[in-house]
Every structure is written in structure tokens, then in C-alpha cells.
Structure 1
Amino acid sequence: MSALKVLIADDEPLAADRLVALLDPIEDLERVGIAEDGDEAVALAQAHKPDLVLLDISMPGQDGIEVARTLAASEPRPVVIFVTAYDRFAVAAFEVAAVDYLVKPVERARLHEAIERARIVLANRQPAAAREDEGARWLTEFWASDLSGLVRIAAADIDRVSAERDYMRLHVGERSWLIHHSMTALEKGLDPSLFVRLHRSAIVRRDFVTGFSRNASGRWVAQLADGREQPVGRLYADRVREMTGR
């Protein structure tokens, strides 16, 4: 079995040193670098093609969530384990398919458990060609924080998505939840036969749109099933033509 190539990304030298000390006794493991910020993490990953990235979330430049999204588009795609001082990013971490989420200070046994999980994921992963043959895979669910813990939200149940700075708000009926995501990533991940982007800060489920009208400026406005109106951005006017055939 070839050695597991591991990249560490953490802007705190003491935290990185602790990970090094915990990793050194593990057999069949090769450490390929230590990045001190998100941009360096991406550069080192592109250069060394690690199997696993131990990734902090709060870092200069790209944060850990952004780095994970970037690495998800690379080939071969490394698995990611987040190692952070905060537990509030757990939902965002699993949205980018992290295999585990460790809170500092990391315990040796917990790290070893996470690495074994990463080995299993890598062993069961299909080659890129096989994944492409299966066709596109759209996002089917989200996990969002709630007062009671975590809530599963089926993508097909979402009426619309609105942007709030670095977060996206998922609207389902009268309720809504915030997730740490980007509008561009959601547009690419949601099934385009079900959802349409109508504004730089809004995605709407197609069957939630009941009609279109023009405002005083001549711009399109979507009429929604809940009685709300969604302005259509100038750059997205072609979506109206695509939906209505006019």
C-alpha cells in the first residue's frame, strides 16, 4: 500500500507543529508540506497532489471552506479533514464533503480515527472517468443549524435562495435557514431543470414562479407563489425568455 500523502494548512505555527508531532508516528504516511494560508494551501496541493489535506478554517487569504471548494474541482481530488478551534463551521464543512471535523486541541486517538476514515474514502473512490460516466450529480440536500441542532433540508423543497453577505438563506415556506455557501456554487450544484438564477443574489425554484411583469423601469419582475416579487437582474433577462419562450 502506497503512503498516504498529507498536506497541513494552518496559519498557527504551534497548531501545525502539534499536528506534525501527532502524524509522525503513523505508518504509511508522508507529509508533503505545511501551508500558512489558504492561497499557499491551494498552491502546495496543486504541486504535490496530496491524498489528504488537514485544513484549518480561519486563515488569511482564502479561508478553509474556500480552499476545500477549490480543491474539490481538482483531479485527483484530495479528501479534506477540517482542524479548527471553532465548532460553528461544522455544517459548512460537511457541505463541501469534508470526511471529518476536528476541534482543537486535537486528540491523538481522534486524529487517527479521522485518518482511517480518510483511507476508507480514498480506497472506495471511483476514478474520474467512472464518475463522469454516471452523469451530473446535483445537490439533493443541505444541513443547516437550528435551535434544536441540525436540520436536513431537501433541495426540492426549497422555494428560493437569497444572498446575505457570505451566507445563503434557504427559504422553505415561512421558514428559512442560513448556510455558508456561495451563490455561484449553488447555481452550479442545483439541478437547472428545477432551479433558475434570476438575480446575482437570488435563485428561485422554477415552479415557484407564477408569472412575470415589467416594473416602471421596464425591467422584468418575477411573481412568486407566496405573493412576493423577485426583480430579475439585467444580466439574467435571458432566463425569462428561456422560461417563457418569448
Structure 2
Amino acid sequence: MKVLIADDEPLAAGRLQLLLARCEGVDLVGTASDGDSAVRMAEALGPDLLLLDIAMPGLDGIEVARALAARRPSPAVVFITAFDQFAVAAFEVAAVDYVMKPVEPARLDRALDRARAYLRTRGEQQPSSLASRYLEEFWASDLSGLVRIATRDIDRVSAERDYMRLHVGARSWLIHHSMNALEDGLDPATFIRLHRSAIVRRSFIAGFSRNPSGRWIARLSDNSEQPVGRLYSDAVREMAGR
């Protein structure tokens, strides 16, 4: 698998080169330090996979991915960045993965495996199809720096103006996403939207009841309750088999 790195930070690019050197079946064909160079090098070298930073001089990583999307065959794209707020935009341009810095070897291995799977099947499906791809992790800020939050650990999500609060057990973190975009990025087999300001992990729901006005109320595993918006009542009935 031919790989092209695009990152304007020499230390980050160097770390990726070292990590790739330990990976079998990987051939690093070049390193670009800005978005415009990344497009030119991709067109000239024909890499199978681009490891793209997002914040770069000139074209950013999202724009690079868009510029190369029409190329046939299209390369796999994995974004590697220090910022979590671009995750939804990244998946909108058919990224096969989104990896946060600093990159861990095991996490890079998973991204390479996804790229290989994409390359094996790209002739059988539209490359922009992301129906089976959902966010696996988020990064949020706290007093110690950045915290990695696995999607599978999230109990529920609540909206707070322009931010979403991820609830994991007794703790919670704020991230900058819209509720609609976040809903699109979460696996509907695992999460269900119950309100315009609430998404809940299905397995975190202990049951449903109705209040005196007939409105559905979700009883959650932590003994709290979440009112169900009228627009989402059908989803509740479907989940409950009613």
C-alpha cells in the first residue's frame, strides 16, 4: 500500500514516518508540508492512502480530500489531527478514519486496516458511501489537557447551546458539535435520539413510561429520566416493539 503523508509539522510527520516504518506492506512514497503540495504529489505519485493533517497552509486537509475525490481510483483518506471538531466534516468527504494526535501505534494499525478494507472494496461501492461508518471516539478538553472518549462508553449526549455534553458515568465533557451532525455520526443501532437536545445509548435505557399528558418518558439506568420529544415518539414505539 503506497502512502503519502501531508502534515506541516515536521515532528508530527517524522513520527508518522517512524510508525509506518514498522508496518508491513506499507511503502511511504512522499511527504508534503502543505495542502497544495499534497494535491500535486498525490496526482503525480498515485498513492493508495493519504495520511492528512487538517490544519495546513494553503488547502486544508478537508479541501485536499475534496480535490482528490473525483480521481479514479480514489485514494483512501485518513485524517490525523490534533483537533476533534472536524470529525463530522471529515466523514462527509468519505474519510475511512479520523485519528487524533499523538498517534498511538495500535491506533495507526487500525486505521491502516480500514484503509486496506476500503481499497479492497472501492470498486464495488461508491467511495462516498459512509452508511456503515460511524465515529468511534471523541476528544474533549479538561484541566489535564485532551481526553479520549470511546463512543461505546457514552451513556447519553445533551445539548448546551453550541456544544454537546458527553455523559460517561458520573463524568461529562463538552465538545463543539451540532446535535444533527452528531446524530449522523453515531451508529443508530447503538444510539437513539429521544429529544431535539438528547441522544441516549439504547442499552442505557431501562424502560419507558407515560406522564399524565400521555408523553413518553425514558427511564435511564442511572435512575434519571429523559422526556421524549413528540417528533421522536415513533422511534420509541419502534424500539419497544409497539
Q: Report the TM-score, using the length of structure 2 for normalisation.
A: 0.54
Does the CA contact (< 8 Å) of 1:213 and 1:220 recur in 2? yes
| Structure 1 residue 177, shift from structure 2 partner | 0.6
Structure 1 stretches lacking a partner, 5+ long: 1-21, 31-50, 57-63, 82-88, 102-122
The partner residue of 2:184 within 182, 188, 213 is 188
Aligned equivalents of 1:152, 1:27: Cα separation in 2 = 28
**Mapping 1:213-232, distance limit 5 Å:** 213-232=209-228
Does the CA contact (< 8 Å) of 2:195 and 2:227 recur in 1? yes
Question: Counterpart of 2:107?
Answer: none
Question: Counterpart of 2:133?
Answer: 137
| Structure 1 residue 241, shift from structure 2 partner | 0.6
Question: Counterpart of 2:240?
Answer: 244
Aligned equivalents of 1:138, 1:203: Cα separation in 2 = 15
Aligned equivalents of 1:164, 1:143: Cα separation in 2 = 17
In percent, how many aligned pairs have the same letter?
57
Q: After the TM superposition, which parts of structure 1 deviate over 3 Å for at least 4 consecutive aligned residues?
A: 25-30, 53-56, 74-81, 93-101, 123-135
Aligned equivalents of 2:197, 2:38: Cα separation in 1 = 48
- Residues 23-49 of structure 1 deviation map (CA, whole Å, 9 limit, x = unaligned): 8x969859xxxxxxxxxxxxxxxxxxx
Question: Counterpart of 2:83?
Answer: 90
Indicate yes or no: 2:173 matched with 1:173: no
Cα 1:27/1:149, change in 2 over 3 Å: closer
Q: Report the TM-score, using the length of structure 1 for normalisation.
A: 0.53
Question: Counterpart of 2:142?
Answer: 146
Aligned equivalents of 1:214, 1:162: Cα separation in 2 = 21
| Structure 1 residue 91, shift from structure 2 partner | 2.9
| Structure 1 residue 93, shift from structure 2 partner | 3.4
Question: Counterpart of 1:107?
Answer: none
| Structure 1 residue 184, shift from structure 2 partner | 1.1
| Structure 1 residue 224, shift from structure 2 partner | 0.6
Question: Counterpart of 1:61?
Answer: none
RMSD, matched Cα: 4.6
Does the CA contact (< 8 Å) of 1:91 and 1:145 recur in 2? no
| Structure 1 residue 94, shift from structure 2 partner | 5.3
Indicate yes or no: 2:198 matched with 1:205: no
| Structure 1 residue 129, shift from structure 2 partner | 4.7
| Structure 1 residue 157, shift from structure 2 partner | 0.5
The residue type equivalent to 1:241 in the other structure is R
Does the CA contact (< 8 Å) of 1:55 and 1:80 recur in 2? no
Indicate yes or no: 2:226 matched with 1:233: no
| Structure 1 residue 193, shift from structure 2 partner | 1.1
The 3-state SS of whatever aligns with 2:85 is: helix
Question: Counterpart of 1:36?
Answer: none
Structure 2 stretches lacking a partner, 5+ long: 1-32, 42-49, 91-96, 102-114
Cα 1:223/1:170, change in 2 over 3 Å: same
Aligned equivalents of 2:216, 2:210: Cα separation in 1 = 5
Does the CA contact (< 8 Å) of 1:79 and 1:99 recur in 2? no
- Residues 160-201 of structure 1 deviation map (CA, whole Å, 9 limit, x = unaligned): 000111111100011001111111112111111111000011
The 3-state SS of whatever aligns with 2:86 is: helix
